[in-house]
Amino acid sequence: MSKITNIEDWFSNKSLSLEEWFLESKNQKFPKDIDYILRYQNIKEVAIVAQEKIHQGNVEVENTRGGDSSRTLTGHDPKHFKKVIKNASELVRMGKSKLTSYEIFFLLSAIQIHDIGNIMGREDHQKTAIDVFYDLMPANVVLDSVETSIIHSIAEVHTQSEGEDKDTISKLGNYEIGHNDQIVRHQLLAAILKLADELADDPERAFMYGVKNNLVKEDSNLFHVYCNCLKSTVIKDRHISVAYKFEEDDVHTEYNFGENLIFLLDYIFIRNIKMHLERVYCQRFLTPEIFVDHIDIEIAIYTKDYRKKLIEIKYRLIDKGYPQLNGKDFDIKVICADPENQLKNPNGDWWDGPSLKNYIDKNAG
């Protein structure tokens, strides 16, 4: 057990997640002397029942609402929620943001339920999470209905349904709200969750056995391959570092993406643009508590046996120029710190899926 009691001491102890500190610290102030540690444990126990059913490759979940689904989910099991907590902890620690114990309760609880709606299918999962939570909650667990509503509102804005307004956090209204004689900065908490979730892809979410043995539906292969090649995400020193590693076979494969076929590198660029936009958007609500300045990307391609590195692509994503409103036409070169030196290959061509394939074919030997 940790001897750390104050949240101030937690900032210097990087071995503990925010959840570990919350569960272990005895020196916390909560409204009306209520045991919020127990209340959080009750919420987590309920949420895990759903989380454990949303493991990677669980086709049954996708077919819950009936009909023929073309999707095989990546992992939304307890390991994913643990990764979101880890990312949220690093964001909070990086900014020295002095969250109250009450706010930490709301943040951790919202993380625990934010994706459990996937048990009812991917569509509108952020909206159905609260229904799933209430359906699974035992009769002997009594929660404050206002607090539960706050938790769900923080969790719900981590994403939006197809065609809906992406400015989800603004829908929470004021930056902060009051409950039980305490202030809760729910927009700040929602921004922490949203960015932490955006950065939570990793190989544990991928069902690669299913990809290789045709157990994953064809339209979902790309998402599992993407998770599998994202090897590291580090949040510190006011920036985010993301590292991808994959084999040359993945360079030659085209994957279903909507109505088109796409190379893995081009999809990485698409996801990096989204990652950048999420950082810029969330920064509106993280300020002044937390500041994330830029994102560093490293992509390494290896031979099939991973014995030789064939090529390495490194670039930095920054706020640059005047904001563009049309995200569909967004090009990664627009947000790259030095596109001429970072996004061109040794032959002077812009990196993309086809140019990477041609380069590997000519130089792999």
Taking alpha carbons only, the member of 213, 201, 203, 221 closest to residue 72 is 221
Does residue 8 carry a pLDDT above 90?
no
Distance CA 154, CA 283 (A): 16
* pLDDT at 25 (0 to 100): 86
* Straight-line distance from the first to the last Cα atom of the chain, in angstroms, rounded to the nearest whole number: 54
* pLDDT at 315 (0 to 100): 98
The angle subtended at Cα 137 by Cα 111 and Cα 117, nearest 5°, is: 45
Contact 88, 111 (CB under 8 A): yes
What DSSP string describes 291-328? ---EEEEEEEEE-TTSSSEEEEEEEEE---SSPPS-GG
Does residue 73 carry a pLDDT above 90?
no
Average of per-residue pLDDT across 166-170: 88
Taking alpha carbons only, the member of 264, 277, 293 closest to residue 331 is 277
Beta strand pairing status for 239-247 and 294-302? parallel
Does residue 62 carry a pLDDT above 80?
no
Of residues 15 and 273, more confidence is placed in 273
* pLDDT at 173 (0 to 100): 87
* Residues across the chain: 365
- With a CB cutoff of 8 Å and minimum separation 6, the contacts of 226 are 201, 264, 267, 268, 271
- The single-letter DSSP state of residue 350 is B
Confidence of residue 72 (pLDDT cuts 50, 70, 90): confident
Please report, for the chain, the start and end positions of each structural domain, with discontinuous segments joined by +: 1-198, 201-365
* pLDDT at 68 (0 to 100): 44
Q: Tell me: the pLDDT tens digits for 80-132?
A: 889 999 999 999 998 866 899 999 999 999 998 887 766 665 555 555 556 67
Average of per-residue pLDDT across 159-186: 84
CA atoms within a 13 Å half-sphere pointing along the CA-CB vector of 309: 8
| Neighbouring C-beta atoms of residue 42, cutoff 10 Å | 18
Confidence of residue 64 (pLDDT cuts 50, 70, 90): very low
Distance CA 336, CA 319 (A): 9
Q: Tell me: the pLDDT tens digits for 138-165?
A: 666 767 888 888 988 898 887 655 567 7
Confidence of residue 217 (pLDDT cuts 50, 70, 90): confident
Which own/partner pairs from 176-185 qualify as long-range (CB within 8 Å, at least 24 positions apart)? 177/150, 179/31, 179/146, 179/147, 179/150, 180/31, 180/32, 180/102, 180/144, 181/31, 182/31, 182/100, 182/102, 183/100, 184/102, 184/103, 184/106, 184/150, 185/103, 185/289
- Percent of the chain past pLDDT 90, that is, above it, reads 52
> Measuring CA to CA, how many Å separate 76 from each of 100, 117, 313?
28, 10, 30
* pLDDT at 165 (0 to 100): 78
Q: Tell me: the pLDDT tens digits for 254-301?
A: 999 989 999 999 999 999 999 999 999 999 999 999 999 999 999 999
Taking alpha carbons only, the member of 168, 129, 167, 135 closest to residue 151 is 129
Q: Tell me: the pLDDT tens digits for 297-349?
A: 999 999 988 889 999 999 999 998 776 655 556 789 999 999 999 999 998 99
Does residue 5 carry a pLDDT above 70?
no
Taking alpha carbons only, the member of 151, 155, 212, 142 closest to residue 177 is 151
Taking alpha carbons only, the member of 263, 249, 202 closest to residue 227 is 202
* pLDDT at 325 (0 to 100): 56
* Residue 153, token pair as written in the block: 């509102």
Listed in order, strand segments (DSSP E) in the chain are: 177-179, 182-184, 230-236, 239-247, 254-257, 260-263, 294-302, 309-317
Placement of tokens 């030659």 in the chain? 252
| Neighbouring C-beta atoms of residue 182, cutoff 10 Å | 15
Q: Of the given ranges (28-42, 121-135, 209-223, 235-249), which has the lowest mean pLDDT?
A: 121-135
